[in-house]
Structure 1
Amino acid sequence: MLSTLPLSFVTVVETGSITRAADELNIAKSAVSQNLKRLEQQLDVKLAIRTTRHLSLTPAGERYYQRCKEILALSRQAETEMESFGAVPSGPITITAPHAFITPVIAPALALVEEKFPNLQPSVIAEDKRLNLITEGIDVAISVGQLPDSTLQARRIGSLRDILCAAPAVMENAPAFDDPIYWQWVQSLPYIAHTREPAVVRHRLPALVGAESIDVSFRSAVKANTIEAIAAFARNALGVALLPDIAIAQDLKAGTLLPLLTLVEPEPTPIYAVHSYDTLPPKSVQESIMAIQQALAKALQ
């Protein structure tokens, strides 16, 4: 909003008189007149020629009035936009998340948001790598793992754990868990790797309480570039895979995938909702993050 002096000037010009401007601004007529005098003194230029019945702008006054109108319009537009942050969410919103989150988390979350706010227009980018929110025009990014230092705002919405698993058919001839050759047998299994993993994949897995961590290595037999594809290959008994619980929660419940050993749960990997709106995100962003957090918790139940 314009400061008091320019606002008085604009109001006088648009109402046509100091009296009417004073009524609109709800201040004394003398205050309006004084504001105009102080403004001209500050600018060191004559803005208007005033008589008892008429006010006419000088060329400088006309130019100043036009500039003040532009500022006032921008100020009103900004206020309207800020009001919309607290209004009913509508319009486009772009969300990015890893492939493994789309089916169990993002889809049900957007269903909730769309039911609540039908005028919202979500767009989803399934991408495992981290994208630049600013250059890509992204409102919310779901990011897994520790975040690099940045000016972005991050809210932790949950965590996931990696589970070494395989289909029941792969486990048919497994030695007993406490058999000394068990881990030799496990490491002889074909391994389903992500394309970014090397030919020989090594993992350090937390062991049972009181025991040392277990170091295992696998030779990649099959590779895929998404967690969903790796999980699909594991379900079809192509080998063993280390998969996040969010991607295989339903498989573990149904028994279509089995954990290779009851281990102490590994350290959880944090999941963040990231945005670039400082401390005042639009309500559409707030509501979407809340829905994603709820869907994530439900998927891991």
Structure 2
Amino acid sequence: MIRLRQMSVFAHIVETGSITAASELLELSKSVVSQHLKSLENELGIVLLKRTTRKQTLTVAGKQFYQQCKILNQVANDAWLEAQQSKAVPQGKIRITAPNALMETLVAPAIARLLPQYPLLKPELISHDHHLSLMSENIDLAIRVGQSKESTLKQKRIGEFRDVLCGKPEYIASSSWQGLAYIANTWQGHEICHQFHTQVKPAPLSKKQVDNQTGQTTGELIYAANAHCITNSFHTCLSLIKSASGIGIIPDFHLRSLSSELVEVFPEYQLPLNTIYALHPFGDQTPLSVNVCLQAIMTQLNITTTA
């Protein structure tokens, strides 16, 4: 690193015409600039500049060496300018991961609207229903359901939605809800338990009342079952539900787009809210490309969940 610094200083001495001018340009003392040149010549074992009190002249070896040092400074300047430009225009590769359901309805539409505006942006979208390691998978931005315990990541709550237990109308009507097969994703496991609450807050009760069907306090319903079929993909779950193979949960905003195909199993009840978080590993120095993509995703989320 010291050698590179010395070569850079040497190029500036040549280009400015003197040690004094180079020291002013580099904001270093003349003695420091002079020492860099002296150390460089000593290490190379050659004289690079012949100097008098009024003039400096490159030696033959100095001319050849300067051409390479000039390239070194140009590469450094180009790298600096390119990094500065990345703060002004979103560009380059950005890897974004999200669960399948959120990728299709949230992330992909948001990024699609950005591409015409920022042609230098090169997004790579990774759909996965399991949490990928941002560091080992080189992920720049992750959209997840629920807060992460990884303290090294910067995370921001960006919205919420509800899961809805649903199925084909004819399938739900074919049996009591206890007899309906449950289609689960691998993250849910084999033993399923959902706690529902009434969508309308019940009136105050004079005494404790019990719902005879579920054995729960009025206003609450517990659904428990063993998964009949388990898949590792949201889209596979959805396909099985739409094929009347069973019931399962999908996001409320996704159900709205399928309202003619699927219906809620318990329309009077609802599941708790799920929070959506955005995570990235950049701390407070967030790249512009990440900020732009995150803002687009948040805008799409507002459109999707309020439509």
Task: Name the structure 1 match of 2:281.
Answer: 276
Residue 56 to residue 241, structure 1, CA distance change in 2 (3 Å): same
Long gaps (5+) in structure 2:
42-48, 59-65, 203-217
Task: Name the structure 1 match of 2:173.
Answer: 172
How far off is 1:250 after superposition?
0.7
How far off is 1:244 after superposition?
2.2
2:43 equivalent to 1:36: no
Task: Name the structure 1 match of 2:93.
Answer: 92
How far off is 1:163 after superposition?
1.0
Code of the aligned partner of 2:105: P
Count of aligned residue pairs for this structure pair? 275
State how far apart, in whole Å, the 1-side matches of 2:74 and 2:198 are. 65
Code of the aligned partner of 1:260: V
Query: Per-residue displacement from partner, 1:171-197 (whole Å, max 9, x unpaired)?
Result: 3357xxxxxxxxxx3122111122344
Secondary structure at the aligned position of 2:283 is classed as coil
Query: Per-residue displacement from partner, 1:129-148 (whole Å, max 9, x unpaired)?
Result: 11122221222111111211
Long gaps (5+) in structure 1:
58-64, 175-184
State how far apart, in whole Å, the 2-side matches of 1:127 and 1:46 are. 54
Q: Is the 8 A contact 1:100 1:246 kept in 2?
A: no
State how far apart, in whole Å, the 1-side matches of 2:184 and 2:81 are. 51
How far off is 1:103 after superposition?
2.1
Code of the aligned partner of 1:131: L
The correspondence for 2:256, drawn from 249, 253, 260, is 249
Residue 21 to residue 234, structure 1, CA distance change in 2 (3 Å): same
TM-score between both structures, scaled by the size of structure 1: 0.74
Residue 52 to residue 107, structure 1, CA distance change in 2 (3 Å): same
Task: Name the structure 2 match of 1:235.
Answer: 242
State how far apart, in whole Å, the 1-side matches of 2:119 and 2:261 are. 37
How far off is 1:219 after superposition?
3.0
Q: Is the 8 A contact 1:231 1:248 kept in 2?
A: no
Q: Is the 8 A contact 2:167 2:264 kept in 1?
A: yes
Q: Is the 8 A contact 2:196 2:272 kept in 1?
A: no
How far off is 1:107 after superposition?
2.3
Task: Name the structure 2 match of 1:159.
Answer: 160
Name whichever of 213-222 and 193-202 sits farther off: 193-202
Task: Name the structure 2 match of 1:293.
Answer: 298
Q: Is the 8 A contact 2:195 2:271 kept in 1?
A: no
Secondary structure at the aligned position of 2:195 is classed as strand
Q: Is the 8 A contact 1:168 1:257 kept in 2?
A: yes
Task: Name the structure 1 match of 2:182.
Answer: 191
State how far apart, in whole Å, the 2-side matches of 1:291 and 1:216 are. 37
State how far apart, in whole Å, the 1-side matches of 2:26 and 2:192 are. 75
Q: Is the 8 A contact 2:22 2:33 kept in 1?
A: no
Q: Is the 8 A contact 2:20 2:30 kept in 1?
A: no
State how far apart, in whole Å, the 2-side matches of 1:46 and 1:8 are. 10
2:219 equivalent to 1:225: no
Residue 74 to residue 207, structure 1, CA distance change in 2 (3 Å): farther
Residue 130 to residue 264, structure 1, CA distance change in 2 (3 Å): same
How far off is 1:81 after superposition?
4.1
* Identity %, equivalent residues: 32
How far off is 1:54 after superposition?
3.7
- What CA RMSD, in Å, does the superposition of the two structures yield over aligned residues? 3.8
Q: Is the 8 A contact 1:228 1:247 kept in 2?
A: no
Q: Is the 8 A contact 1:101 1:247 kept in 2?
A: no
TM-score between both structures, scaled by the size of structure 2: 0.73
Secondary structure at the aligned position of 2:166 is classed as strand
How far off is 1:97 after superposition?
1.3
Query: Per-residue displacement from partner, 1:199-232 (whole Å, max 9, x unpaired)?
Result: 4422222235343532221232222211222122
State how far apart, in whole Å, the 1-side matches of 2:222 and 2:183 are. 17
Residue 216 to residue 86, structure 1, CA distance change in 2 (3 Å): same
Secondary structure at the aligned position of 1:102 is classed as helix
Q: Is the 8 A contact 1:231 1:247 kept in 2?
A: no
Q: Is the 8 A contact 1:101 1:246 kept in 2?
A: no
Code of the aligned partner of 2:31: K
Task: Name the structure 1 match of 2:106.
Answer: 105
Secondary structure at the aligned position of 2:81 is classed as helix
How far off is 1:77 after superposition?
5.3
Code of the aligned partner of 2:178: Q
How far off is 1:269 after superposition?
1.4
